[in-house]
Amino acid sequence: MMKTVIRPLFKSFILNHPTNEDKILAFSAIFWFTIAFIGHLIFVLYIISLYGISLFEGDFDRWNAMMPKGYIEGDIAGNISIGVHLLLAAIISIGGPLQIIPKLRDYVPRFHRWNGRLYVSTAVIITLTGFYLTWVRGSVGGLVGAVAITINGILILLFSLIVIRYAMAGNFKSHRKWALRLFMVVSGVWFFRVGFMLWMLIHQKPVGFDPATFQGPFLTFLNFAQYLLPLLVLEIYFWANERARKTGKITTAAIITILTIAMGVGIFGATVGMWFPNIN
Ligand code: HEM
């Protein structure tokens, strides 16, 4: 296990001649990735269990358990859009984390290429169905929420294009960096749920937003932070990895570790409060 999985995984996160601070930074990145991967797996389990199983049982009312406009009788285009959106949500949430494991790419490059094509196509289609659901069908969160998720969607489309262009040009250093940026914006909706449940766990009641309209200052912040904060931390990680001195690397590792612990608590909150109650 140590020789075949952990050591290669660890090595792939660090530079060729690692110093101790490079190793500390690499450990913080692996810690973050491991917790994020587990959180994505639970999210996939929830999507399959709530939406997938009810689809096969023909129990479409369950689609409205977490959304006000999940299944609407007679709205064929809307129901197909949300159905496709949910199917792709499960695919992308499992394919994304697998795609960014560096050693998997080296051991099974064919898998990386096919999963990459699937991931980018899924990202594009899920975003287009998301635009339809947001602007045509209407979603919770009001205008600010709609604008924020639309910017998130535009970033997904833009980063997908850049990732493909760098892969086709054979510029794998830039391809990898943009793939990680793409992963962060694609995971925006997942970060939203984790951040929201962390907030609820801390306060034990709705604070900073109105639960009836699902709007308020905290949700305005979270609607944008769901993708801007992960992107910011990723840029700091790139800087620390490539250019920072000892103190910069160690400080970045500490920030990533603290944020990962907060993310872990949010995942726990989302799991017990939102996802597990809908898994059967
Ligand atoms: C890219 C990854 C995405 C994933 C994994 C994802 C996942 C999901 C899931 C699981 C739901 C069902 C609600 C729940 O059970 O929690 C949902 C609903 C929804 N999604 Fe997405 N989604 C993604 C991207 C987007 C984007 C980019 C947009 C908008 C541009 C969007 C707009 C919506 C809307 C409007 C709903 C209906 C719920 C509501 O009324 O707010 N999604 N999504």
pLDDT in tens, 65-123: 989 889 999 999 999 999 999 999 999 999 999 998 888 888 899 999 999 999 999 99
Centroid of ligand 1 to alpha carbon of 223 (angstroms): 13
- Local confidence band at 18 (pLDDT 50, 70, 90 cut-offs): confident
CA angle at 102 for the pair 29 and 122, rounded to the nearest 5°: 100
pTM of the model: 0.92
- Local confidence band at 14 (pLDDT 50, 70, 90 cut-offs): low
Which atom of ligand 1 is closest in space to residue 134's alpha carbon? Answer: 35
Question: Looking at the predicted structure, is the pLDDT value of residue 11 above 70?
Answer: no
Interaxial angle between packed helices 142-168 and 217-242, expressed in degrees from 0 to 180 and rounded to the nearest 10: 20
State the pLDDT at residue 115: 96
Centroid of ligand 1 to alpha carbon of 122 (angstroms): 13
Centroid of ligand 1 to alpha carbon of 231 (angstroms): 19
3 within a domain of the structure (yes/no)? no
Domain count, the chain: 1
240 within a domain of the structure (yes/no)? yes
pLDDT in tens, 242-257: 999 999 999 999 999 9
State the pLDDT at residue 79: 95
Indicate the top mutation candidate among 118, 126, 191 to test ligand 1's pocket, ranked by most ligand atoms within 8 A of CB: 126
Q: What's the mean per-residue pLDDT of the chain?
A: 93
175 within a domain of the structure (yes/no)? yes
- Local confidence band at 10 (pLDDT 50, 70, 90 cut-offs): low
Centroid of ligand 1 to alpha carbon of 39 (angstroms): 17
- Phi and psi at residue 36, to the nearest 5°: -65, -40
Mean pLDDT of 61-65: 91
CA angle at 125 for the pair 40 and 140, rounded to the nearest 5°: 70
Residue type, 29: A
Q: Whose CA is nearest to atom 15 of ligand 1?
A: 66
Which atom of ligand 1 is closest in space to residue 186's alpha carbon? Answer: 1
Q: Whose CA is nearest to atom 6 of ligand 1?
A: 89
Which atom of ligand 1 is closest in space to residue 123's alpha carbon? Answer: 1
Centroid of ligand 1 to alpha carbon of 224 (angstroms): 15
| DSSP for residue 243 | T
State the pLDDT at residue 103: 82
Mean pLDDT of 36-52: 97
Tell which residue, 253, 258, 119, 113, has the closest CA to residue 187. 119
- Can you tell me the distance from the alpha carbon of 182 to that of 259, in angstroms, rounded to the nearest whole number? 20
Q: Which domain holds residue 125?
A: 21-278
Which atom of ligand 1 is closest in space to residue 153's alpha carbon? Answer: 27
Tell which residue, 197, 90, 81, 169, has the closest CA to residue 131. 81
- Can you tell me the distance from the alpha carbon of 184 to that of 158, in angstroms, rounded to the nearest whole number? 13
State the pLDDT at residue 276: 95
Centroid of ligand 1 to alpha carbon of 82 (angstroms): 8
State the pLDDT at residue 105: 85
Question: Looking at the predicted structure, is the pLDDT value of residue 15 above 60?
Answer: no
State the pLDDT at residue 106: 85
Indicate the top mutation candidate among 49, 50, 85, 92 to test ligand 1's pocket, ranked by most ligand atoms within 8 A of CB: 85
Q: Which residues line ligand 1 (CB under 6 A)?
A: 47, 66-67, 69, 85-86, 89, 92-93, 126-127, 130-131, 133-134, 139-140, 149-150, 152-153, 156, 186, 189
Burial of 156 from C-beta contacts in 10 A (0-12 / 13-18 / 19+) = buried
Which atom of ligand 1 is closest in space to residue 92's alpha carbon? Answer: 5
Question: Looking at the predicted structure, is the pLDDT value of residue 151 above 60?
Answer: yes
Centroid of ligand 1 to alpha carbon of 241 (angstroms): 33
Residue type, 198: L
Mean pLDDT of 161-175: 96
- Local confidence band at 180 (pLDDT 50, 70, 90 cut-offs): very high
The answer to whether 78 touches 68, Cβ cutoff 8 Å, is no
5 within a domain of the structure (yes/no)? no
Question: Looking at the predicted structure, is the pLDDT value of residue 29 above 80?
Answer: yes
16 within a domain of the structure (yes/no)? no
How much of the chain, in percent, has pLDDT values that exceed 70? 94
pLDDT in tens, 222-234: 999 999 999 999 9
Indicate the top mutation candidate among 42, 128, 133 to test ligand 1's pocket, ranked by most ligand atoms within 8 A of CB: 133
Q: Return the HEC string of 191-238.
A: HHHHHHHHHHHHHCCCCCCECCCCECHHHHHHHHHHHHHHHHHHHHHH
- Can you tell me the distance from the alpha carbon of 280 to that of 275, in angstroms, rounded to the nearest whole number? 10
| DSSP for residue 65 | S
CA angle at 97 for the pair 227 and 222, rounded to the nearest 5°: 20
- Can you tell me the distance from the alpha carbon of 177 to that of 185, in angstroms, rounded to the nearest whole number? 13
The answer to whether 71 touches 61, Cβ cutoff 8 Å, is yes
